[in-house]
Amino acid sequence: MPFVSIRITREGNTVEQKTQVIREVTETLQRVLGKSPHLTHIVIEEVDTDNWGYAGQTTTEFRRQAVEHKA
């Protein structure tokens, strides 16, 4: 039974987009690995950008700085 966990930042991802991701990941597992869609579980976790960090800072701050540097 495949279980796929996908974490993305929460920034206005639509239900339609998430549905498409779930459908396409399920189809890929079926096509490539022969896994049954009825046994495949996909979980999408959306994380606030204040709770996602890299390079020593939150994603919120990193993006704020990127915008300021463009200006």
Residues forming the active site: 2
Residue 22, CA distances (Å) to 4, 28, 36 in order: 9, 10, 14
Q: In degrees, to the nearest 5, what angle opens at C-alpha 16 toward C-alphas 20 and 6?
A: 55
